[in-house]
Amino acid sequence: MNRIISKKQLSADVYEMTIEAPLIAKSRKAGQFLIVQIDTDWGERIPLTIADADPAAGTITMVFQTVGASTHKLAVLSPGDSVENVLGPLGNPTHIEKFGTVVCVGGGIGVAPLFPIVQAMKEAGNTVKVIIGARTKELVIFEDRMRKYADELVIVTDDGSYGRKALVTEPLREFCEADPKPDMSIAIGPPIMMKFCEKTTAEFDVPIMVSLNTIMIDGTGMCGGCRVTVGGETKFVCVDGPEFDGHKVDFENMMIRMRSYKDREDRDHHTCHIGLGIEPHAAPGGK
């Protein structure tokens, strides 16, 4: 049992929740995730990103969007209540080193899993430039936290209600056109957003890491639902990822597989996305 310490509503359907998990708080690294089960009798297993952690307090912070039955059930819990099962940290941590200049792109609630990576990249001595994308001003999250670590922060919205009216690829292209160009880039968000971030960086021969948000059930490599093609080989996001070289990811194949699960979801509402904490039929903004 993991006691809930605090809960905050970030937007209409996005929540931030801090829970007690001392062992996970001490061992987690940027880029890793959790499997959360609200109740053991009938509850599904929800993959969620560790957005932050406090090893001294023994707590971890999750950000999730309420779409399906399980995420709504999680959202109605209050401080003092408990989450029955929390498994983690899972997945491979982000490769952190002093690259030089790193551009970090987050779309929608993909900004939450991007935060610990930004933090770690800055602490490793990099110049970190951050791009936050969302559909509207109300859906922009983690702005203040990002400003503490970002050397430069650009916010774009689809409707122009906050920051620049643009897609995230516009400022990404501007950073890539600069002299010198970035030494590394990272993108986390909807698959279509990551696909076009990869295409943009490829034009300038800038490396890019992407954190894939495929369908996942067990999180330990057994179900095979999260398989993707990377560099012509089959990989499992939960155990081989969640981060991969974006220039090697077959995004078209991944999105076709996710659409097939979406059709199934429309019937039985079962699985959800890693990292973003959302069901397959509800991609976040910031494309």
Q: What is the pLDDT of residues 154-213, one digit of tens each?
A: 999 999 999 999 999 999 999 999 999 999 999 999 999 999 999 999 999 999 999 998
**Residue 10 is assigned to a structural domain of this protein:** no
**Residue 61 is assigned to a structural domain of this protein:** no
Burial annotation 243-265 (CB, 10 A radius, 16+ → b, else e) = bbebbebebeebeebbeebeeeb
Where is the binding site for FAD, in residues?
63-65
**Residue 110 is assigned to a structural domain of this protein:** yes
Number of domain units in the chain: 1
Mean pLDDT of the 67-95 span: 93
**Residue 108 is assigned to a structural domain of this protein:** yes
| DSSP-based three-state secondary structure for 11 | coil
End-to-end CA gap in the chain: 37
| Confidence (pLDDT) at 271 | 33
Q: How confident is the model at residue 82 (pLDDT cuts 50, 70, 90)?
A: very high
Where is the binding site, in residues?
63-65, 223, 226, 238
CATH number of the domain residue 195 falls in = 3.40.50.80
Q: What is the pLDDT of residues 124-169, one digit of tens each?
A: 999 999 999 999 999 999 999 999 999 999 999 999 999 999 999 9
Whole-model pTM: value is: 0.89
**Residue 265 is assigned to a structural domain of this protein:** no
Mean pLDDT of the 41-57 span: 89
**Residue 107 is assigned to a structural domain of this protein:** yes
| Confidence (pLDDT) at 197 | 98
Which residue, chain included where needed, has tokens 């929800």?
Answer: 46
Structural domain range at position 186 = 101-212+223-255
**Residue 80 is assigned to a structural domain of this protein:** no
Where is the binding site for [2Fe-2S] cluster, in residues?
223, 226, 238
**Residue 69 is assigned to a structural domain of this protein:** no
